[in-house]
Amino acid sequence: MKIDHVSEDRALEERTKLLFDEGVSSLDPQTRSKLTQARYRALEELEASAPAGWRPRWIPACVLAVGVLAVVMLWRGQPAVSPETPAFDVAALSDLEIILGDGDLGMLQELEFYAWLDEQAEIVPTESAEGGVG
């Protein structure tokens, strides 16, 4: 019984679809002509609305795209530099200046003295603190 209804429904769908399609394909020339004219009138709307509707929306997108492109091209033209690299290079350059410079070489000769002085500066407060407790 249910199968009968399903097949009846399917037959009804096919029959009505066929009838509708025939109705569409057999429209008389006058009706077709009027529909074509209606379509042309609608398309005139597209032409009329295009300058106002499109230009403001797409120009910023174009400007943005060109800007991004320029930034990418400039960035790719530079050598790759990591954030840590400049600090390392500056330190190396300052050391090089000291070594190559013709200034006070006596300071370099007394380097051991300065290292000893630095150690003493770290030791002295500890000793004084121990002395304070004792």
Partner 1 sequence: MTLAAFVQATCLPKEERTLESEIEIDAFLREVEKRAYRIAVASIRDADEAFDIVQDAMISLIRKYSGRPAKEWRPLFYRILKNRIRDWQRHGVVKGRVLSFFGGQEGETYDPVAQAPGPSTSNPDETVARGEAMAALEKALAEVPRRQREAFMLRNFEGLSVSETAIAMSCSEGSVKTHYFRAVHRLRESLGEHF
Least distance to partner 1 from the beta carbon of 32, Å? 7
**Residue 38 vs 98, nearer CB to partner 1:** 38
Residue 134 to residue 130: CA distance in whole angstroms: 6
What x/- string results for residues 9 through 28 when contact with partner 1 is judged by CB under 8 A?
A: x--xx-xxx-xx-xxxxxxx
- Contact between 33 and partner 1 by CB under 8 A: the answer reads no
Residue 111 to residue 96: CA distance in whole angstroms: 16
Residues 46-77: b if buried by 16+ CB within 10 A, e if exposed:
eeeeeeeeeeeeeeeeeeeeeeeeeeeeeeee
**Residue 40 vs 100, nearer CB to partner 1:** 40
How far out from the chain centre does Cα 84 lie? Answer: 24
Least distance to partner 1 from the beta carbon of 1, Å? 13
Per 3-state DSSP, the chain is made up of helix, strand and coil in percentages (nearest 5) of 85, 0, 15
**Residue 5 vs 131, nearer CB to partner 1:** 5
Binding site for partner 1 (CB under 8 A): 5, 8-9, 12-13, 15-17, 19-20, 22-28, 31-32, 34-36, 38-39, 41-43, 45-47, 49-51, 53-55, 57-58, 61-62, 65-66, 68-69, 72
